[in-house]
Amino acid sequence: MPEEILLRSARDQAAAVRAGEVSARELVETCLSAIERLDAELNAFVTLVPERALAEADAMSAGDSRPLAGVPVAIKDILALTEGIRTTFGMRATGDWVPSMDSAVVRRLREAGAIVVGKTNVPELGILPVTEPHRFGATRNPWDTARTPGGSSGGSAAAVAAGMLSLAHGNDGAGSIRIPASCSGLVGLKPGRGTISVAPVPNDTIGLVTDGVLSRTVDDTALALDLLAGYELGDPFLAPPSAEGFTAAAAREPGRLRIGYATEAPTGVPIHPDCVTAVEETARLLESLGHEVEQASPQLDPERFLEHFTRIWFADVGPGAKTLAAVAGGELDRAQLEPLTRQLVEIAEATSASDYIGSVSYLRTASRVLLAFWADHDVWLTPTLAQPPLEIGALEPGEGEQPVTMLAKAGEWIPFTPPINVTGQPAISLPLHHSDAGLPIGVHLVGPHGGEDLLLSLSAQLEAARPWAERRPAVSAST
């Protein structure tokens, strides 16, 4: 079967299986063939389960009414557990641990008829915004293989962007869905806090991390959110359900919205001209669509925010690494950690409980100040990133530099995404711009709490006004 079917949306693929136009087995075989042909160059996958995927496909027949019947999907190899499939979190220290259960997001995808074909590459413990783990090597961007597809959901992004499949799981604790969406020319929605459960994995203290997906269309993202949203027993955070459903929201007009936009980073780091142009062009497009648009930004003390955010980010690495090693069957062998992870474990052990709690309190207070912006605006528009996709290895420490300098360099690249994890708002990166060099440049739309409906409606309007789904990278199922 031609690989072009993989470039159709997940919704269309399921409809083709339902109508008997293609069998689930043919669809999965085509996906596996595309992975075999493309992934040697991109390194998006770290684990494949072809026999299991084909057996699940053989159990499906035409007429299956489930919304993702027969659709091949990939699961990011961190946070989400996959029953019977190796889960490594990008670490050597976890060995080849195989969970005995699915996480809620994986269970819900499978219940909807999706077929898991494998796990995608991640940076160790999801720490960095690039996907270059020592254990598995770098994932490369299908648009330019000398560059990163972003991280930490970089493997998932590369797989979808290259057309190996149409939908892949991701998660986002400081931008890890939105960053690779921007780098790879995809739609990447970070749902609001409590919208999608990370069960059975415990949430971090203030709920920075949420699950989600990467896709090529707003409709597929809305469909996935309809399937994945909802409470799981014991969740510490709970968001109200959509009154109309996310797919329905994406299908209607958003109405006239008050939109503030910014082309300067809250931290003052330089913004690449291509990223500025992407926002300015989007602001003009929004105005032409009837929205009220002005330059405006929420209040933020960048130095204090960064101090407290990095403290809790660093401090959570140590317990996380130790817990994963214990779950995988033993004590943490620090010699198997990457130098950056090892240094962060040491920093975590030196952080006092009172300092940690103080930082949590500061960030909660800062969130109230930030959120005041949405009393007068519906959406905030910014670049997703301060620079186009980085070259592979760009964050590596120089001679004599400590490993932790990698995070300082990363912070200069991602000034816009982490604050939104702290506030817990929904945010989406859309592939509305390409540089003269042909690199995707994402724009970042941030909505109010409970504003996923609003963001999806506005995003679908922008997609209709300036479509992007037909763009193809250099390494793709269409080539």
Q: How confident is the model at residue 339 (pLDDT cuts 50, 70, 90)?
A: very high
Q: Which pLDDT score, from 0 to 100, does residue 284 have?
A: 98
Q: How many residues does the chain have?
A: 479
Q: Which pLDDT score, from 0 to 100, does residue 248 have?
A: 98
Query: What rounded mean pLDDT belongs to the chain?
Result: 96
What whole-number percentage of the chain has pLDDT above 70?
100
Pick from 100, 67, 47, 305: which is nearest to 167 by CA? 67
Q: Which pLDDT score, from 0 to 100, does residue 197 have?
A: 97
Domain boundaries, given as residue ranges, for the chain: 3-465
Is a pLDDT exceeding 80 seen at residue 108?
A: yes
* C-alpha distances out from residue 10 to 69, 71, 99, 166, Å: 9, 6, 27, 6
Q: Which pLDDT score, from 0 to 100, does residue 371 have?
A: 97
Q: HEC states along the chain?
A: CCHHHHHCCHHHHHHHHHHCCCCHHHHHHHHHHHHHHHHHHHCCEEEECHHHHHHHHHCCCCCCCCCCCCCEEEEECCCCCCCCCCCCCCCCCCCCCCCCCCCHHHHHHHHCCCEEEEEECCCHHHCCCCCCCCCCCCCCECCECCECCCCCCHHHHHHHHCCCCCEEEEEECCCCCHHHHHHHCCEEEECCCCCECCCCCCCCCCCCCEEEEEECCHHHHHHHHHHHEECCCCCCCCCCCCCCCHHHHHCCCCCCCEEEECCCCCCCCCCCHHHHHHHHHHHHHHHHCCCEEEECCCCCCHHHHHHHHHHHHHHHHHHHHHHHHHHCCCCCCHHHCCHHHHHHHHHHHHCCHHHHHHHHHHHHHHHHHHHHHHHCCCEEEEECCCCCCCECCCCCCCCCCCCCHHHHHHHHHCCCCHHHHHHCCCEEEEEEEECCCCCEEEEEEECCCCCHHHHHHHHHHHHHHCCCCCCCCCCCCCC
Question: Backbone phi, then psi, for 57, in 5-degree steps?
Answer: -65, -40
Active-site amino acid positions? 76, 152, 176
Pick from 171, 173, 176, 158: which is nearest to 216 by CA? 158
Stated pTM of the model: 0.98
Distance of CA 272 to the CA centre of its chain: 22
Handedness of CA 147, 151, 156, 161 (dihedral sign): negative
Is a pLDDT exceeding 90 seen at residue 175?
A: yes
Question: Backbone phi, then psi, for 97, in 5-degree steps?
Answer: -60, 135
- Average pLDDT for residues 329-355, to the nearest whole number? 92
Q: Which pLDDT score, from 0 to 100, does residue 255 have?
A: 98
Q: Which pLDDT score, from 0 to 100, does residue 205 have?
A: 86
Inter-residue contact 108 to 75 (CB < 8 Å): no
Domain at 3-465: CATH code: 3.90.1300.10
- Average pLDDT for residues 188-213, to the nearest whole number? 95
Residue recorded with tokens 């009837």: 290
Is a pLDDT exceeding 90 seen at residue 331?
A: no
Measured between alpha carbons, how far apart are the two ends of the chain, in Å?
Answer: 15
Q: Among 28-42, 69-83, 216-230, 321-335, where is mean pLDDT lowest? A: 321-335
Is a pLDDT exceeding 80 seen at residue 327?
A: no
Is a pLDDT exceeding 90 seen at residue 25?
A: yes
Is a pLDDT exceeding 80 seen at residue 375?
A: yes
- Average pLDDT for residues 232-248, to the nearest whole number? 95
Is a pLDDT exceeding 80 seen at residue 157?
A: yes
Q: How confident is the model at residue 89 (pLDDT cuts 50, 70, 90)?
A: very high
Q: Which pLDDT score, from 0 to 100, does residue 321 have?
A: 83
Strand 427-434 and strand 187-190: the pairing is antiparallel
Is a pLDDT exceeding 80 seen at residue 74?
A: yes
- Average pLDDT for residues 114-124, to the nearest whole number? 98
Q: How confident is the model at residue 323 (pLDDT cuts 50, 70, 90)?
A: confident
Q: What are the pLDDT digits (tens) for 130-145?
A: 999 999 999 999 999 9
**Distance (Å, whole) CA 341 – CA 406:** 11
Inter-residue contact 176 to 198 (CB < 8 Å): no
Q: What are the pLDDT digits (tens) for 390-439?
A: 999 999 999 999 999 999 999 999 999 999 999 999 999 999 999 999 99
Q: Which pLDDT score, from 0 to 100, does residue 479 have?
A: 78
In this structure, the dihedral spanned by the alpha carbons of residues 257, 388, 415 and 210, taken in order and rounded to 10 degrees, is 70
